[in-house]
Amino acid sequence: MPLGLQSAKITLDGPEPVHDRYRPFKSGAGSFGILIRNIKETCDLVSIHIGGNYDQESWPRFVSLLDRLQAEGLTPDRLGVVKFDPILKPVGQKHLLARYHGGCMGGHEPWILEASVVLRQAILDRGYRTLRVQPAMCAIENNDSLVVDVDGRLYKCPAFVGREAYAIGDVSSGVKDYRETYRLDLWKNDTCRACEYLPLCYGGCRYMSTLAGNGVIDAVQCRKSYLDAVLETLVKQDLTSAPVRHARSGRRIHGSPGRSRKSPCGPC
């Protein structure tokens, strides 16, 4: 693109009826059809990544979303990474949609273990790319990760937007020291340093820490039990996934574009 735009991420929260229930326009009209049209018109110009957010009720229906993408001609060679993630419970009622009370409090709930493996396999079975198992870190640990809200305030992670206590400056004054605000060194303890999963975790998700800490980051979000349960399966999925050929470049592309700044937390 002349202005340097290389990629964009579009969120589809399930097949059309599910997505339109969660993401309607202010008028109440659904947004799914317009998003599909926009993706079809742009995916051959820039790399379009597909995201989606599921809960315990909606996750089984995401398989039909993948089939709808293929039926619309949005085949693996025309899209970038496809990755679905569980909805997190917002901290505090003011961040909670009045009509929605779902979401998860952490990565250890049994349905999340099932959903993460089943949906990832469904993505790979249809030839789409998704993030491979790889060393990763929380966006907060990434020096290059910044989020700007509508008022120009800066945050380290989209999950904290709107919570002014976690703002790290603004576009006028720049970035202030945020090491203590986000507890960057939480993982530098004997237990984490001795854990074989440290390169896949680095203390886990700081937002998840606030869910367990009543709105404050006061502990690591240990992912050991989750990785014990699913890591072997995820690695086997990567080893058996076939590469696809990208429509614009003609390159053979395996299951990941490398570390994604948009999704720094890897496949889990």
Q: What is the pLDDT along the chain (268 residues), one digit of tens a residue?
A: 677 888 999 999 999 999 999 899 989 999 999 999 999 999 999 999 999 999 989 999 999 999 999 999 999 999 999 999 988 765 554 444 545 545 544 556 788 889 999 999 999 999 999 999 888 777 888 888 899 999 999 999 888 898 889 999 999 999 999 998 898 888 999 999 999 999 888 888 888 888 777 778 888 888 898 899 999 999 999 998 866 555 555 555 544 433 333 333 445 4
Crossing angle of the two packed helices 62-71 and 110-125, in degrees rounded to 10: 20
Q: How far apart are the first and last CA of the chain?
A: 32
Q: Say if residues 172 and 152 touch (Cβ distance below 8 Å).
A: yes
Could you give phi then psi for residue 60, rounded to 5 degrees?
Answer: -65, -20
Q: What is the C-alpha to C-alpha distance for residues 48 and 51, in angstroms, rounded to an integer?
A: 10
Percent of the chain with pLDDT over 70: 81
Provide the whole-model pTM.
0.79
The residues, ordered by sequence, that sit 6+ positions from 67 with a Cβ below 8 Å of its Cβ are 126
Residue-wise burial string across 220-243, b where 16 or more C-beta atoms lie within 10 A, e elsewhere: bbbbbebbebbbeebeebbeebee
Q: What is the C-alpha to C-alpha distance for residues 183 and 193, in angstroms, rounded to an integer?
A: 16
Crossing angle of the two packed helices 110-125 and 224-240, in degrees rounded to 10: 10
Average pLDDT, the chain: 84
What are the DSSP calls for 112-139, one per residue? HHHHHHHHHHHHHHTT-B-PPS-----G
